[in-house]
Homo-oligomer: A and B are copies of this chain.
Amino acid sequence: MTRVDYPRSVNFGPPRSFRDVLNSKLKETFFPDDPFRQIKNEPLGRRSIKTIQYFVPICEWLPKYSLAFFKYDLLAGITIASLAIPQGISYANLAKLPPVIGLYSSFVPPLVYALFGSSKHLAVGTVAACSLLIAETIGEKASPTDNQELYVSLIFTATLISGLLQTLLGVLRLGILVDFLAHSTITGFMGGTALLIILQQMKGMLGLKHFTHSTGVIAVLRAIFQNRHEWNWKCALVGIIFLIFLQFTRFVKKKKPKLFWVSAMGPMVVVVIGCLFAYFAHAEKHGIAIVGHLKKGINELSVDRLNFDPKYVSAPLKAGFITALIALAEGIAIGRSFALATNDQIDGNKEMIAFGLMNILGSMTSCYLTTGPFSKTAVNFNAGCKTPMTNIVQSMCMLLVLLFLAPLFSYTPQVALSAIIISAMLGLVKYKKAYHLFKTDKFDFVICMSAFFGVSFISMDMGLMISVGLALIRALLYTARPATCKLGNIADSNLYRDVEQYPGATGVPGFLILQLGSPIYFSSGTYIKERILRWVRDELDSAKPEEHDIEYLLLELGGVTAIDTTGVEALFEVTRNLESKGIKMILVNPRIDVMDKLIVTKFIDKIGKDAVFLSTEDAIDACRFSLQRSKQVNEEGRLNGS
């Protein structure tokens, strides 16, 4: 084929070196946010300062800190502390831990986060889902009531394992793992967990004395209805009043976002009123249980309570592993989304290290797993926080509470805690979001529902794993069946588009133009090969006798970003098959990675450099030109011969 000279030609430059490609891939995989951007191109002195500032962000913002900021941070810090007290006690209750551990967990971890964390808005605290998951997993090995000592120490161990894993993932820059928790998985998981937690709270709301240790929906429902004789209407009445009050405060916030503090203060108000009510009305005599003794004083060291006994260690390992990932997913997603709102950048992997350190130190000072819960962070953001100083303020408030006020909270009625938890959980059942998924993406809906029902009816970890598994299958199916389509010419233009999408687009006689999907990998090589040959067969079958046969197969590769050796072999096989049919293969616009690979595997040598074009238009022009020339040559030959 003679090639017409085009001003625009394909770049057949030598493939980039392996080192360059590896560097660029590693960077995109592990440093997609280019964290050291500010540090490059700086003199050594400034560079070391910047490096320290990078790893310990407090060194960056504290020197610039001003009183103007502190006014905002103080207000926000007090607000989140007032939320931390009831939430801390409630979630510790959910994790079947002594309530004071919930308070401890809002003292040390926020301090650590303030040192290493880079999000301005994140408010550190415990979260409901992880609390329940820990209780479920550790509860299998040790009873929280019969052997509390062991149970608590295993929970500290799980927290340490979470922290170590989070730090490790951050250091290895494996933030990419968190990317595999799809939003739909998280929606379903949170919804299912909220349902479980709400059902668990029926014990507190109805004042039950006997209950199940299981978390499954069916077991809990059975426990509720089998113990009907224990239902306490006074308890339920108090609970419902609290719940209505809390839901009302949320309603106020929803209507007037400026009044966010109404809902932020709600739980604290419920606890205070609950305490007063329990103290003056002698609630316990009416069968309304209270939290009970809360020890004065700050966190005890718990290094000596970490328990790695091989008999039990499987439970903390499992709990630590799963909660580490969930806590990271929640914390990082929330930090990032608030950062986006204010045009800040959050380095996910650095955040992981901050979370990890906070849990490692937490596990040694009688705290259990903490992260950046959505509710608290939103309150912090609305309260106008400016820097991580809010976490220090929160911490100081907790210090005061622990030193002086803790015993007062021992009168908190269980039913008040249940109402607080239920109210928080109702916000997490995102049925609208599930409906949106159903409307927009059925597969995402299935992923979401599998998490929801898996969590509700099997167990939290199984539900999560099934859902993640389905999402991974979706991703793998994508790589196994990349979408290919046939292109046609859009009338009066030089554009070639999918004929299914643009039914007006018409084929070019003598040409079959296919756009291949990406990637051409081991998983898709066979498929792409067979799919191409099927298009060719269909085209040959449908061609009317008077029409031209296919002379050229154009493969538009503009969308293909990766190819592996199996993929190249598939292309080789296609060319061999086409040769036997007398069809020539033409490549259009191979991307840089694909081009490199086609050159090193000598595929370009096989089809010839004159069979690769920069655009479909160029390819068709050149092929037509050479078709006409060969016809002319034939005719001239015939004329000369005659």
List residues of chain A with CB under 8 Å of any chain B CB: 7-8, 11, 18, 22, 25, 28-29, 32-34, 176, 179-185, 336-337, 340-341, 343, 348, 436-437, 439-444, 471-472, 474-483, 485, 490-495, 497-498, 500-502, 517-519, 521-527, 530-531, 534, 558-562, 564-566, 568-569, 573, 576-577, 580-581, 589, 591-593, 595, 597, 600-601, 614-615
Q: Least Cβ distance of A165 to chain B in Å?
A: 19
| Cα A521 to Cα B600 with chains together (Å) | 31
Known: A441-B564, A561-B517. A526 touches B336 (CB 8 A): yes
B614 touches A34 (CB 8 A): no
Could you say which residues of chain B place their CB within 8 Å of the CB of A498? 591-592
Could you say which residues of chain B place their CB within 8 Å of the CB of A444? 564-566
B475 touches A523 (CB 8 A): yes
Give 25 CB contacts A-B under 8 Å.
A8-B490, A11-B502, A28-B531, A32-B481, A33-B534, A179-B480, A179-B526, A179-B527, A180-B480, A182-B566, A183-B525, A184-B564, A184-B565, A340-B576, A341-B576, A440-B565, A475-B476, A478-B521, A483-B561, A485-B591, A494-B494, A495-B615, A518-B518, A518-B561, A559-B561
| Cα A573 to Cα B565 with chains together (Å) | 37
B479 touches A7 (CB 8 A): no
B530 touches A591 (CB 8 A): no
Q: Least Cβ distance of A555 to chain B in Å?
A: 13
Known: A475-B523, A501-B11. A483 touches B176 (CB 8 A): no
Of chain B, the residue at the smallest CB distance from A445 is: B565
| Cα A491 to Cα B566 with chains together (Å) | 36
Could you say which residues of chain B place their CB within 8 Å of the CB of A11? 501-502
Could you say which residues of chain B place their CB within 8 Å of the CB of A562? 478, 483
A343 touches B577 (CB 8 A): yes
**Within the complex, which residue of B474, B493, B561 is in contact with A482, where a contact is CB–CB below 8 Å?**
B561
Of chain B, the residue at the smallest CB distance from A559 is: B559
Could you say which residues of chain B place their CB within 8 Å of the CB of A569? 183
Q: Least Cβ distance of A558 to chain B in Å?
A: 6
**Within the complex, which residue of B439, B479, B614 is in contact with A490, where a contact is CB–CB below 8 Å?**
B614
A483 touches B591 (CB 8 A): yes
Could you say which residues of chain B place their CB within 8 Å of the CB of A341? 576
B565 touches A441 (CB 8 A): yes
| Cα A437 to Cα B615 with chains together (Å) | 30
Q: A340-B573, A478-B521 are in contact. List 18 more A-B contacts (CB 8 A).
A: A7-B493, A8-B491, A180-B522, A183-B566, A183-B569, A184-B565, A343-B577, A439-B600, A441-B564, A444-B565, A474-B564, A478-B562, A482-B561, A497-B589, A501-B591, A518-B518, A559-B560, A559-B561
Could you say which residues of chain B place their CB within 8 Å of the CB of A580? 343
Could you say which residues of chain B place their CB within 8 Å of the CB of A500? 592
B176 touches A480 (CB 8 A): yes
| Cα A519 to Cα B479 with chains together (Å) | 9
**Within the complex, which residue of B483, B592, B600 is in contact with A501, where a contact is CB–CB below 8 Å?**
B592
Of chain B, the residue at the smallest CB distance from A471 is: B522
| Cα A337 to Cα B531 with chains together (Å) | 15
Could you say which residues of chain B place their CB within 8 Å of the CB of A525? 179, 183
A527 touches B601 (CB 8 A): no
Closest 6 CB pairs of A and B: A559-B559, A182-B522, A483-B561, A501-B592, A475-B479, A183-B566
Q: Least Cβ distance of A593 to chain B in Å?
A: 7
Could you say which residues of chain B place their CB within 8 Å of the CB of A22? 442
B184 touches A522 (CB 8 A): yes
**Within the complex, which residue of B7, B482, B495, B597 is in contact with A441, where a contact is CB–CB below 8 Å?**
B597
